[in-house]
Amino acid sequence: MVAFVLPLVLAAAFPLSSSAVPLQGFTTTASFKGVPVFPPINYGLMCRLPIPGVKQLCAIGSSSGAQVRTPLGTANGVLDTAGANRFAVKYASAGRWAESTVVTQWALPNGGTNASALPLACPQPLADPSGYAEDCLSMILYVPTNCKAMGGVPTLLWIHGGSFISGSATAPGLSGSKLAIATNSIVAVMQYRLGALGFMAPDGKTNLAVKDTINAMKFLAKVVPSFGGNGKITVAGQSSGAGMIRALLAAPSASSLFQSAILQSDPINYGFLNASTQVKLQSTFNGLTGCAATNTACQKSLSLDAIIDAQVTLGNQATSIDASTGSAEPVRPVRDGTLINTPLDLTAPFPAVDKPILLSNVKNEAGPTIYGIFKSSITREYFAPVCDQSLGPERTAIVQASPFYNLSASSDTRIPLETLGTDYMWRCPTWSLARSWAGRGGKAFVGLYVTGATYPANSGTAFCLQSGSVCHQDDIEIVFGTVPSPTAAQAALTIEMQARYKAFLTTGSPNAPGLSVWSAATTSSVHAHQLGGTPSPSGEVPVGACDPSFWGQGVLYDYQVFGI
């Protein structure tokens, strides 16, 4: 049995080359002919080009608030175009496949001397090598100019998505200035080692990228008081960035480093990898590189191209090695029993928890996948074969017999398939997590975006451009306030979400004056709050197939089927 047919179909339709698509979230490892791809921008190079406007964008001269003394040395920054001071910094160091360590001195990324330059991305497929560097453990701090005068502000640490193989702190829409100003917080947007460099150490060390994230929080704890921060950190992220946060929530050693968490569009259905699966993947990867687990000289001599090529091949082969990997995130955090010691799902007793969490999805999470595969309308006879390959015959029969995916309601079977994909991969496992969280002592707030802003990666998918569609990633620019030429509805939702995030950072609740009440989840009802659009009388969205008696019980998630 395989995980989710949609990435498998994509893998079949677009065989993986030596490059993968650097899209946040449900990224398929494929070349994606004709689909827009947004590789990391080489800001260091770009900022040196004599192009009118670019020079001004990159280097608005230092202001009086753009130099800060920290325990690690003087931080030099620039005034960002959106009004906050911007500081790019290297937060940790790491040798190849070694655990990272927090830096002891403030330093600009990539050995730079220009405070206006932004960091190079971490190595990743389908990206210009001039835009990335192996020395990539960097972050960008966005600090309101009146931060110190506010008397101690919280910090929001944003963890980018990209299926753990792509993305960067400089991805589209992630400029944190407007979010920092609106929430009266320090916004830090970080990078972590991706793909094989972050998860496939030949000697068997696991979760290096998760440990990078932990070190990012340790770094912030040291420096944010110098910028006016009160030391209270909320971690936030989208898609695999949210999956990284789930790993932090499952790691007891990380618990004291942050107070709350925001998880946007986490594909929880996959769960963490288990240790035995990781061993299989690691053995295959070592074979692909030709370096034995103990041959460090061989490992150090590998070029980045060779490592990325081996990673790509591993991604192609992952489901045949172990079906529990799935095709979209075969490289991901591992429940190793040391750092991550709980699955944090329905497969084991849920631990006691106390942190408030905010969980959100968008209405059409699976839109880019379904409508990226099927370019035109398909008839109902496609539904059963697609489901059977995804779910197996037993789960398919239950899904078909249910009232939730009514094939007679539409002549285009892409519509129920998109709903199924959204429920199966994202929405329903998120709601299951919320119920479990509430049942073990924590507060969980659940939301669903019915208004969004088309993310650049979705611009090639006609469905995502339709009025009313809110595809995976279409919440990012809403939250950051970086929607180009927003509509009235988008602008209103941005104001609302930034007000709710401001409240959550300070109180652990997204309820703010003047906004409708957002109720916390209980074990029986998640009270999923509608974000955008015309609200229902209750302000909540229908449960539908996410009833606990259906997904998670009547129809099992992949993490239950594979016992991971």
Catalytic residue numbers, as ranges: 239
Return d(Cα 342, Cα 335) in angstroms, integer.
Answer: 7
Asked if 230 and 154 touch (Cβ cutoff 8 Å), the reply is: yes
Return d(Cα 115, Cα 131) in angstroms, integer.
Answer: 18
HSE at residue 477, side-chain half, CA atoms within 13 A, is 23
Return d(Cα 459, Cα 451) in angstroms, integer.
Answer: 16
HSE at residue 71, side-chain half, CA atoms within 13 A, is 10
Report the SS3 class of residue 493: helix
Question: Using the 8-state DSSP alphabet, how is residue 60 labeled?
Answer: P
C-alpha distances in Å from residue 397, one per residue of 120, 388, 427, 558: 48, 9, 21, 16
Asked if 399 and 555 touch (Cβ cutoff 8 Å), the reply is: yes
- DSSP string across 115-126: TTPPPPBPP-SS
HSE at residue 160, side-chain half, CA atoms within 13 A, is 31
Closest CA to 198 of 97, 93, 272: 97
For the CA atoms of 483, 486, 489, 493, what is the dihedral angle to 10 degrees?
Answer: 30
Contact partners, residue 312, CB within 8 Å, separation at least 6: 16, 17, 18, 19, 20, 29, 125
Please state the separation of Cα 401 from the chain's center in Å. 33
Report the SS3 class of residue 272: coil
